[in-house]
Structure 1
Amino acid sequence: MESILITGASGFIGSFIVEEALKQKFGVWAGIRSSSSREYLRNRKIHILELDFAHPNELRAQLSGHKGTYNKFDYIIHCAGVTKCTDKRDFDRVNYLQTKYFVDTLRELNMIPKQFIYISTLSVFGPVREKTYQPITEDDSPMPNTAYGLSKLKAELYLQSIPGFPYVIYRPTGVYGPREKDYYLMAKSIKQHTDFAVGFRRQDLTFIYVKDIVQAVFLGIEKQACRRAYFLADGQVYRSRAFSDLIRKELGNPFVIRVVCPLIILKVVSLLADFWAMRSKKPGTLNSDKYNIMKQRNWQCDIGPAVRELGFAPQYNLEQGVKETIAWYKNEGWL
């Protein structure tokens, strides 16, 4: 039985990867913080491994102890990271520096796996091809305009800089599905009869259902991909109202008041939200980083390499994915 470590295993994407790894008969290790929820990690076959990425000496002891008992991991899927912070410097500290500490420690301990899979983001490219609305490709130059995107890009570049390091990078677009909380807030707002849109200029959106990310990850393992980066989306392009319209459909078409927020007003609100988050020490859903993401007009990306090289074939379009997601929210009492 091959072993696999999934960091960030208690999170949205990580918990789904854990479930698929169990189905595929891997020996599964869930890498989590001591404070992490174990709500989606209750299967008795899951081995829990607490990892302290913030403190290299602690991390070295934890990984060394594992190696002494079980040997190294065959595969590592690094999902751990942050998507919202009260202090923008934390993006760099967690998403970049802690990834660097992790990889450096693996190299020091001779624990480099067959594949080191890094879950990145389309946001590493930022507002590319905004005038032509053509898909972003791997040949484009990254221009991240968020602290989040920059931190992920720095981690990518570090992995790519290590000679022979067996990385595989996945850059998903907007990820949604059961257990996800940001799109849930949209559904909650629509249920309460309010729908928000941002800006008046055309916006081309792309999405990927969480289970299709999981599919791509395990196809990459099966195909023994190495030193490659792939964009992930469902292969279709949607206009700005598509997601909310589908949510309304699944909620029985409640009446809604549609509020289109000009970008300048959203920017002011996001700056105020930043100030409040710093005062309260609690990250909010809206912030200046999120503002830059919401104002981006072109989210198309080229998934051709993943299709050709991995055999990636998205199983969910937006309508199917939203249907399953809203059903889960209802069943769990979220809506």
Structure 2
Amino acid sequence: MKQSILITGASGFIGSFLVEEALRRGFETWAGVRASSSRKYLQEPGLHFLELDFAHTDRLYEQLKAHREAHGAFDYVVHCAGVTKCIDPADFDRVNCGQTCALANALRSLDMTPRQFAFISTLSVFGPVHEDTYKPIRETDTPQPNTAYGRSKLKAEQALLAMDGFPCVIYRPTGVYGPRERDYFLMAESIKRHVDMSVGYRRQDLTFVYVKDVVQAVFLGIERSIKGRAYFLSDGQVYASRTFSDLIRRELGNPLIIRIKCPLFLLKVVSLLAERWAALRKTTSTLNRDKYNIMKQRNWQCDITPAVRELGYRPEYDLERGVKETIAWYKKEGWL
């Protein structure tokens, strides 16, 4: 009998890749989506859909109860749903923490606790740690998130780990890139238009992880029945601030570019204005206070040794290989 897995946020960037891998591994795969979610990247045969209303706890409970009565409980749940941009900063806590807890509590109250509940968090839960020494951020360091997004994810982590006996495992990827991703795509689009912008004048150590390596880690955790742990995920390398854009430029045929270095104070002003203008229009902006704090952070190194040792995690993509595959996909799909 097939093992069943629910992947929330399945229509999103990471979620859609998790769905593909679950199907490839032979899981009975349920894509947790909203009624309004795009299903563009969820076209695989054999995929099941489950509409979940995270915004209304009673409705979520009834949806899960109906699923249990018709199909039984899930063996595994990967919670990938969440928000990275909000008009109202309070929505970060409401969605990333409140709705995560609502799902976990509904599963527990319905006697649907899975064998493992994997939560996709972020390196941003730690914030600007070791900014002077540039030492890798370790799990023993004290989190000091400086973004509403990072704080909301940290609250969700703490709530899950505080649930007695709840079999959660947490993944904290650094910057995730790959096909279908839109934020890093903006950098590629800018370079194609002959502009490359960097921020600040002080050294910045960056880390990245290709989406398929995040997926690899999640399924390694399932194979090893990990519970009560949290892991940083990167490709194991550290990059200078220009490496990513240089690799993109190479894959685009080395177009002539104008390099612009933006002082942090100017970026802060522009970010605040962009956020304010977006709020007046009741939409979100790529540039905002959270984005400013992320771009300001100088040290993104993180220690993946526990993931390597406990999961058997071996990143398959360094930045060169990952960018090559990503840009090829953007070209194929007509994004570039």
TM-score by length of 1: 1.00
**Post-superposition CA distance 1:150-203 (Å, at most 9, x none):** 000000000010111100000000000000000000000000000000000000
Matched, 1:64 2:65: yes
Hey, what's the Cα distance between the residues in 2 that align with 1:111 and 1:327? Answer: 42
1:38 matched residue in structure 2: 39
Matched, 1:255 2:256: yes
Alpha-carbon distance, 1:274 to partner: 1.0
Ranges of 4+ aligned residues in structure 1 off by more than 2 Å: none
Hey, what's the Cα distance between the residues in 2 that align with 1:52 and 1:112? Answer: 19
Letter in 2 for 1:253: N
Hey, what's the Cα distance between the residues in 1 that align with 2:235 and 2:116? Answer: 24
Hey, what's the Cα distance between the residues in 1 that align with 2:194 and 2:334? Answer: 18
Hey, what's the Cα distance between the residues in 2 that align with 1:332 and 1:228? Answer: 38
Letter in 2 for 1:53: F
2:282 matched residue in structure 1: 281
What is the root-mean-square deviation of aligned Cα atoms in Å?
A: 0.5
Hey, what's the Cα distance between the residues in 2 that align with 1:89 and 1:281? Answer: 15
Hey, what's the Cα distance between the residues in 2 that align with 1:198 and 1:85? Answer: 23
1:149 matched residue in structure 2: 150
**Post-superposition CA distance 1:53-85 (Å, at most 9, x none):** 010010000000000011100000000000111
Letter in 2 for 1:154: K
Hey, what's the Cα distance between the residues in 2 that align with 1:306 and 1:49? Answer: 31
Hey, what's the Cα distance between the residues in 2 that align with 1:97 and 1:184? Answer: 30
Hey, what's the Cα distance between the residues in 2 that align with 1:72 and 1:13? Answer: 23
Kindly report which structure 2 residues correspond to 1:298-309, keeping only aligned pairs within 5 A, or say none: 298-309=299-310
Letter in 2 for 1:254: P
Matched, 1:226 2:221: no
TM-score by length of 2: 0.99
Hey, what's the Cα distance between the residues in 2 that align with 1:279 and 1:265? Answer: 21
1:264 matched residue in structure 2: 265
Hey, what's the Cα distance between the residues in 2 that align with 1:44 and 1:151? Answer: 35
Secondary structure at 2:150 match in 1: helix
Hey, what's the Cα distance between the residues in 1 that align with 2:139 and 2:165? Answer: 20
Hey, what's the Cα distance between the residues in 2 that align with 1:271 and 1:287? Answer: 6
Alpha-carbon distance, 1:291 to partner: 0.3
**Post-superposition CA distance 1:19-57 (Å, at most 9, x none):** 000000000000001000000111121101000001001
1:190 matched residue in structure 2: 191
Alpha-carbon distance, 1:104 to partner: 1.0
2:100 matched residue in structure 1: 99
Secondary structure at 2:237 match in 1: coil
Hey, what's the Cα distance between the residues in 1 that align with 2:72 and 2:55? Answer: 23
Alpha-carbon distance, 1:284 to partner: 1.2
2:335 matched residue in structure 1: 334
Secondary structure at 2:35 match in 1: coil
Q: Where does the alignment leave 5 or more consecutive residues of structure 2 unmatched?
A: none
Letter in 1 for 2:157: E
Alpha-carbon distance, 1:116 to partner: 0.2
Hey, what's the Cα distance between the residues in 2 that align with 1:60 and 1:53? Answer: 9
